[in-house]
């Protein structure tokens, strides 16, 4: 297979070679209402909208895409590419959310137009229209055209042209637009095809929002790249009834579905035998787990729970990636299963990989496979910028054709992040500094250990927040897994103290005693990490700051706690307060 020159070329090839093959299905939860588009239909719909966009823009202009998951988003995305316009997928603004980043994104990328679904019901209070009007952005509404024709505007698209800006915000930073070119996308999609073995029969099922890079690139663009079918679900449908995801995988005989770790945990947590009757998951051969820390215990529980329904544990597929590298950086071949190593927890605190000294010193870490084809990985000391010695945890650096060009209008940050050099290896070329800590084993498999900026140093010992957060989630059923943040603050006496902010599980919020939760959490953290929590803050479900890719924003959570703006649970117990900071 000769890779296409651009995503426009990719869709054109599919529309010409298999125009009647089903490209997209939107599963609304009602089998009788499931709109779909063939490859020829998607090409024609996108070309028709591209002519409208071309009349309002010049090549290189930015266009906001503000859609729920659905066919209209996909049409609008490809229409922008055909018109030579840079797409900017955006989370639909929330009416009352304090975490809404849309204003900052609009100010950063200065879009000429914004696209959203047609129909008053999509913006009942005029929130979106008012924001766009205030920013002077032309607003176009999108509906599928009954008279669509394959007559795209005459605008040339090259591999080094920008396809879209993937906005990402780290734990401490404001949103930054990763400049992803057509060439970056084609390179990463081809890597996935080779490593995963995807083909025209590899139907994907996805509930991940399409402004999320995992939802957009792996779950949507990858099946379109190989000529397969993509089945889209609403994210809210999954959150309310997670087993519907599995039901659709079985019904559409899907091979591929990807989601963050919490989704696999949620399926186990909401498992009901009566809701799984007649479901056969033997078709599912690639269950990608990415976008947040992968938990060995979650994978084991998922495999055990759904084995009676045809699920093979070798289907589980931990993967590492980030927006700055387009998406996937490392992953094992399909069918490899979960690679788990037991290492010394004590050595991990010292940024080393070593065998456990005894049973209490054991900690499981999950492998995320070797580098993708064409990707180079290096483990580098983040202070000296020299390559780390074998067995030493360092910062993960990435090289390859899928590494993006930098951050939109941020030349200094782009130079520091995307064009790093390993000290003493001038001929090694430029690398992307990921900010993630990891280790490469002798076979080249990557293991993730945390974030450079999130490491806690307590009494001279390194602790990774995600390890403590995982311990907290296991300490009591009232706590939501992957919805906690651990960070440090400096108290009035100058000592560093550790704070936990943790969401309460929706299904348990009326059935727990807070004093019992506090006691269980403190005991678990002390026993497993020898860390004393100075403060435990319980907050309402759905309120902890996360990035669009689902990662906890620990720095932002810390600032909200200091500012007193967290939506704290109505505490009725005598949890002692931390000294003022």
DSSP string, 349-374: HTTB----SSGGGEEEEEB--SBPTT
In a domain, 489, yes or no: yes
Residues 116 and 2 in one domain: yes
In a domain, 310, yes or no: no
What domain count does the chain have? Answer: 3
In a domain, 276, yes or no: no
Q: Is the pLDDT of residue 97 over 70?
A: no
In a domain, 467, yes or no: yes
Question: What integer pLDDT is reported at residue 570 of this predicted model?
Answer: 63
- Residue 288 Cα distances to 86, 337, 467, angstroms: 28, 10, 21
Question: What integer pLDDT is reported at residue 392 of this predicted model?
Answer: 93
Question: What integer pLDDT is reported at residue 581 of this predicted model?
Answer: 33
Residues 393 and 518 in one domain: no
Question: What integer pLDDT is reported at residue 540 of this predicted model?
Answer: 87
Question: What integer pLDDT is reported at residue 580 of this predicted model?
Answer: 36
Residues making up the chain, counted from first to last: 581
- Which of 137-141, 266-270, 360-364 is predicted least confidently? 360-364
137-190 confidence digits (pLDDT tens): 999 999 999 888 888 888 889 999 999 999 975 434 578 999 999 999 999 999
Regarding beta strands 86-89 and 62-65, do their DSSP bridges make them parallel or antiparallel, or are they unpaired?
A: parallel
Sheet with 36-38, edge to edge strand ranges: 36-38, 22-27, 230-233, 204-206, 256-259, 286-289, 316-321, 328-331
SS3 of residue 326 by DSSP: coil
Give the other-Cβ count within 10 Å of 476's Cβ: 20
- Of the pLDDT bands very low, low, confident and very high (cuts 50, 70, 90), residue 232 is very high
- Helix (H) / strand (E) element for 286: namely strand 286-289
Q: Is the pLDDT of residue 347 over 60?
A: yes
Residues 389 and 412 in one domain: yes
Cβ-contact 144, 75 below 8 angstroms: yes
Question: What integer pLDDT is reported at residue 494 of this predicted model?
Answer: 56
Residues 47 and 133 in one domain: yes
Question: What integer pLDDT is reported at residue 573 of this predicted model?
Answer: 38
CATH of the domain at 74: 3.40.50.12780
In a domain, 546, yes or no: yes
Q: Is the pLDDT of residue 95 over 70?
A: no
513-569 confidence digits (pLDDT tens): 888 999 999 999 988 887 889 899 999 888 898 876 677 888 889 888 888 888 887
Helices H, strands E: what count in the chain? 17, 25
283-337 confidence digits (pLDDT tens): 999 999 988 778 888 899 999 999 999 999 999 999 999 999 999 999 999 999 9
Question: What integer pLDDT is reported at residue 450 of this predicted model?
Answer: 77
365-423 confidence digits (pLDDT tens): 899 999 999 999 999 999 999 999 999 999 999 999 999 999 999 999 999 999 999 99
Q: Which residues span the domain enclosing 421?
A: 372-451
- Of the pLDDT bands very low, low, confident and very high (cuts 50, 70, 90), residue 576 is very low
In a domain, 296, yes or no: no
- Of the pLDDT bands very low, low, confident and very high (cuts 50, 70, 90), residue 96 is very low
Residues 490 and 556 in one domain: yes
Residues 388 and 522 in one domain: no
Q: What is the mean pLDDT of residues 19-36?
A: 89
Mean pLDDT over all residues of the chain? 88
Question: What integer pLDDT is reported at residue 549 of this predicted model?
Answer: 62
Residues 76 and 214 in one domain: yes
48-92 confidence digits (pLDDT tens): 999 999 999 999 999 999 999 999 999 999 999 999 999 999 987
- Helix (H) / strand (E) element for 46: namely helix 39-56
Cβ-contact 204, 313 below 8 angstroms: no
Cβ-contact 45, 251 below 8 angstroms: no
In a domain, 196, yes or no: no
Residues 408 and 493 in one domain: no
CA distance 573 to 568: 13
**575: its two tokens:** 């949890």
**How far apart are the two ends of the chain, measured CA to CA in Å?**
60
Q: Is the pLDDT of residue 338 over 80?
A: yes
Residues 396 and 433 in one domain: yes
Residues 469 and 445 in one domain: no
SS3 of residue 70 by DSSP: coil
CA distance 396 to 417: 12
In a domain, 146, yes or no: yes
Question: What integer pLDDT is reported at residue 453 of this predicted model?
Answer: 72
Q: Is the pLDDT of residue 511 over 80?
A: no
Q: Is the pLDDT of residue 9 over 80?
A: yes
**pTM score:** 0.82
Question: What integer pLDDT is reported at residue 100 of this predicted model?
Answer: 59
């Amino acid at each position: 297979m000769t890779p296409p020159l651009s995503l426009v070329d990719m869709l054109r090839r599919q529309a010409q070679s298999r125009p009647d093959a089903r490209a997209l299905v939107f599963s609304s939860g009602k089998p009788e209402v499931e709109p779909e588009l063939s490859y020829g239909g998607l090409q024609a719909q996108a070309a028709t909208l591209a002519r409208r966009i071309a009349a309002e823009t010049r090549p290189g202009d930015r266009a906001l895409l503000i859609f729920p998951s659905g066919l209209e988003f996909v049409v609008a995305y490809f229409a922008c590419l055909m018109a030579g316009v840079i797409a900017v997928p955006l989370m639909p603004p929330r009416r009352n959310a304090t975490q809404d980043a849309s204003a900052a994104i609009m100010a950063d990328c200065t879009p000429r137009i914004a696209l959203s679904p047609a129909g008053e019901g999509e913006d009942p209070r005029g929130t979106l229209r008012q924001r766009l009007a205030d920013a002077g952005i032309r607003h176009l509404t999108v509906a599928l055209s009954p008279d669509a024709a394959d007559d795209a505007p005459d605008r040339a698209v090259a591999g080094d042209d920008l396809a879209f800006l993937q906005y990402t915000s780290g734990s401490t930073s404001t949103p930054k637009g990763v400049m992803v070119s057509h060439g970056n996308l084609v390179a990463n999609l081809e890597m996935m095809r080779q490593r995963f073995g995807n083909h025209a029969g590899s139907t994907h099922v996805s509930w991940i929002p399409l402004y999320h890079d995992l939802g957009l690139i792996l779950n949507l663009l990858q099946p379109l790249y190989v000529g397969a079918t993509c089945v889209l679900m609403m994210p809210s449908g999954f959150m309310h009834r997670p087993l519907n995801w599995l039901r659709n995988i079985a019904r559409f005989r899907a091979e591929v579905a990807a989601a963050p770790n919490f989704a696999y945990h949620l399926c186990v947590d909401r498992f009901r035998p009566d809701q799984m009757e007649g479901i056969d998951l033997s078709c599912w051969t690639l269950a990608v787990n990415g976008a947040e820390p992968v938990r060995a215990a979650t994978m084991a529980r998922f495999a055990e729970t759904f084995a009676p329904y045809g699920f093979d544990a070798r289907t589980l597929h931990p993967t590492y990636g980030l927006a700055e590298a387009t998406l996937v950086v490392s992953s094992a071949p399909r069918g490899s299963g979960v690679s788990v190593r037991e290492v010394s927890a004590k050595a991990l605190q010292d940024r080393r990989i070593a065998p456990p000294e005894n049973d209490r010193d054991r900690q499981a870490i999950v492998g995320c496979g070797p580098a993708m084809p064409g990707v180079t990985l290096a483990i580098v000391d983040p202070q000296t910028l020299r390559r780390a010695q074998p067995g030493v945890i360092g910062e993960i650096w990435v090289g390859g054709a899928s590494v993006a060009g930098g951050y939109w209008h941020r030349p200094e940050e782009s130079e520091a992040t995307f064009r790093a050099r390993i000290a003493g290896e001038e001929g090694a070329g430029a690398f992307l500094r990921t900010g993630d800590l990891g280790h490469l084993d002798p076979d080249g498999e990557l293991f993730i250990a945390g974030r450079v900026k999130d490491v806690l140093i307590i009494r001279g010992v390194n602790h990774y927040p995600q390890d403590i957060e995982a311990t907290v989630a296991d300490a009591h059923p009232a706590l939501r897994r992957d919805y906690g943040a651990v960070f440090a603050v400096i108290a009035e006496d100058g000592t560093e103290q550790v704070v936990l902010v943790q969401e309460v599980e929706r299904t348990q919020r009326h059935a727990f005693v807070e004093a019992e939760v506090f006691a269980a959490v403190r005991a678990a953290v002390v026993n497993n990490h020898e860390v004393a929590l100075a403060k435990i803050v319980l907050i309402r479900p759905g309120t902890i700051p996360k990035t669009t890719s689902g990662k906890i924003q620990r720095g932002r959570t810390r600032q909200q706690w200091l500012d007193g703006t967290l939506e704290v649970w109505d505490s009725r117990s005598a949890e002692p307060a931390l000294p003022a900071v």
